[in-house]
Structure 1
């Protein structure tokens, strides 16, 4: 089915998270997504808090930058969350913003190689395997998790360029596309992901998660325009939507028609009422979005 989510943006102070989570849970929002952007908020810490403060909300992190993270630690944290909150966790990994990685001395010569090695090791560890690997960046010697998840969870990966998109099809269980991707770009991304899956002989579900710039309420068009300009994008076109629930639902449907399984509505950084935003997504937009079949 088509899943609808919303983002708690890390431009908000961490202490705002609790009330947004409670509003989302009470309103019946399906998924709340978090970011690990430098140098704002930790993805794992906020995810654990959000999961503990809610009863049924699924919490995603999109994404964890692998240059910052040893794969054994990432897998330990992921396994712990999946054991504590089974069926309610979605974790994505990715290259990270290269300038930020350089700021902390973590930038690597080949981000693609690192992501490939990290995905292979993380998926193996979360499957309960004992792993020894001597890669270019990932090095493990006889490592196994004492408490792996009871069922191997999907590991998602973020990507933008063609080689990274093919890699997510080959080595990840789902792909996360940021809000800079319009419907035509989603179609192209799905084709590249499918090329990677075919090359690796992968079958079964591969979730496509797409963010969508969204603004509603008073001043929505101005806020969306400012958000796109700050992102270096020209206002207009299909890179965002401002308006009521009907307008937003139509924009969501365009992404679903292009291949998205999950659409995550991304409020502007200056959204004045994040609690109201998650209620809007759950109570007003969700009923207007058909629950279509997922891609396989």
Structure 2
């Protein structure tokens, strides 16, 4: 179980929300590197430093914005500073945003394949030379690789990217609003990629679930429906108390999600309280 610190909140709010999640016993706090709001690595390191036991995820770092050597350096540093407490994903990013900054790739799939391949090699401590279409390295090796290869996560939505995630990543992040049927289908496509690569190791799926609680939950969720362009919120999220949310989490887990991350509305009146709600009211019901 996890919850999102949505980047529509100002960065200075992160400390109190992260500490509230840590003190409440939440398993995971997830952050986004959405353009042009807040950076992923900076916020992750701050949240990790401000807390004691909380796992902090970043979903995700857009690869068109990042040289793979920088990505590897940042991930290696985070995993050495906070062993076992970070879950950081890479992915295509939103193509319109990538276009805004002049970083849109002609073949996002090729870029992600090259980035994931080089990133795994660098984090494994190997010296890498690559002359791909996008990733070009000449004898690059990290001086401070992590002691153990960390979990390498990829975001994915399309069929080809889901298969690629199964082939090259250790876990996949699915976007908020993914339905139970979409999670089930994604699991099948990921498994196709895993089979193609001969992989038998675990592959964890993380999915964000729109969630609102409190007396105005229904109206705030309706605003989310409009914002994201859904015909209905049925199947895309849940509004209500702990029992209703726990039931929804169990449904998404049964479809193949290993981690369900509750995504509050940007106008949630009590982000710190939402963390406690997820940890202390919903999680015990899920695990019963």
Which TM-score tier does this pair reach, normalised by the shorter chain?
over 0.9
Distance 1:55 1:180 in 2: 31
Mapping 1:120-135, distance limit 5 Å: 120-135=117-132
Aligned to 1:275: 272
Mapping 1:12-23, distance limit 5 Å: 12-23=9-20
Task: Indicate if the aligned counterparts of 2:221 and 2:233 stay in contact, CA closer than 8 A.
Answer: no
Shift of 1:235: 2.3
Shift of 1:35: 0.1
Aligned to 1:6: 3
Aligned to 2:201: 204
Alpha-carbon displacement from aligned partner over 1:78-131 (angstroms, at most 9, x marks no partner): 000000000000000110000100000000100000000000001111111111
Mapping 1:243-254, distance limit 5 Å: 243-254=240-251
Please say if 1:108 is aligned against 2:144.
no
Distance 1:175 1:236 in 2: 23
Mapping 1:1-296, distance limit 5 Å: 4-290=1-287
Distance 2:177 2:95 in 1: 17
Return 5+ residue gaps in structure 1 as ranges.
292-296
Aligned length: 288
Please report the RMSD computed on the Cα atoms of aligned residues, expressed in angstroms: 0.7
Q: TM-score, normalised by structure 1?
A: 0.96
Distance 1:218 1:37 in 2: 29
Alpha-carbon displacement from aligned partner over 1:113-161 (angstroms, at most 9, x marks no partner): 0000000001111111111110000001101100000000011001111
Matched position secondary structure for 1:142: strand
Alpha-carbon displacement from aligned partner over 1:141-186 (angstroms, at most 9, x marks no partner): 1011000000000110011110110000011110000112100110
Shift of 1:64: 0.4
Shift of 1:280: 0.2
Structure 1 segments (4+ residues) deviating >3 Å:
none
Shift of 1:228: 1.7
Distance 2:140 2:33 in 1: 26
Aligned to 1:294: none
Distance 1:268 1:55 in 2: 26
Distance 1:75 1:111 in 2: 19
Task: Indicate if the aligned counterparts of 2:22 and 2:54 stay in contact, CA closer than 8 A.
Answer: yes
Alpha-carbon displacement from aligned partner over 1:231-276 (angstroms, at most 9, x marks no partner): 1112232100000000000000000000000000000111111000
Matched position secondary structure for 1:9: coil
Distance 1:182 1:152 in 2: 32
Q: TM-score, normalised by structure 2?
A: 0.99
